[in-house]
A = this chain, B = another copy of it.
Amino acid sequence: MKRILVDMDGVIADVYTRFFELYEKETGKTKTMEEIIGYKEAEAFPEVYRWVETPGFFRTIPIMKDSQRVLKLLNEKYEIIIVSMATEFPYSLTDKQLWLNDNFPFISWKQIVLCGNKSLIKADLMIDDHFKNLDNFEGDTIMYIQPHNINNTSHNYKTVSSWEEIEKLFLID
């Protein structure tokens, strides 16, 4: 059975929606998606490191649209492993696991990897939004489009912008 690595932040966890909410809450100002296109997360939101290091932050992330429904179907047909670069932020670890248990209960604890280097993991395909992960992966790759990666034309990955597109790629003949 084909093994697929699925990233959390920016793929099943809609971190940008939460970033916009927090930015508005803290500054009283709003930012739009258009304003941050092409900027890295920490350029678009200089507060991001403080946010992700705060215990509880990762419990409050909205779920990416359609990701629960499509991942549940994928999980029946493929070996799904959820992989998150999380060990840089110790307080994210417990929160991320609890978030997964709550929102993706069909994903067993045996299917989860929290690490600091995704290239350690053997798999056939990676779905991720970060070049640092995709570039070092030996298998096939799909880049999930996010504001920080959309303008980078030096890479040549297959891309998706929604879980509906992932559904079409893997589940609809």
Interface residues of A (CB under 8 A from B): 55, 81, 87-88, 90-91, 93-94, 96-98, 101, 108-117, 120-123
Contacts and interface: CB of A to CB of B under 8 A. Distances in A.
A93 B116 contact: no
Contacts of A112: 87, 115-116
A101 B116 CA distance: 13
Contact of A121 (B97, B108, B122): B122
A123 B116 CA distance: 15
Q: Which of A81, A91, A116 has the most CB of B within 10 A?
A: A116
21 contacts: A87-B109, A87-B110, A87-B112, A87-B114, A90-B97, A90-B101, A91-B94, A93-B93, A93-B94, A93-B96, A108-B116, A109-B116, A110-B117, A113-B113, A113-B114, A113-B115, A113-B117, A113-B120, A120-B121, A120-B123, A121-B121
Contacts of A93: 93-94, 96-97, 114
A116 to B, nearest CB: 4
Given A87-B110, A120-B121, 5 more contacts: A87-B109, A93-B97, A93-B114, A108-B116, A120-B123
Contacts of A91: 94
Contact of A90 (B94, B115, B120, B121): B94
Contacts of A113: 87, 113-117, 120
A115 B109 CA distance: 8
Nearest to A117: B110
Nearest to A110: B116
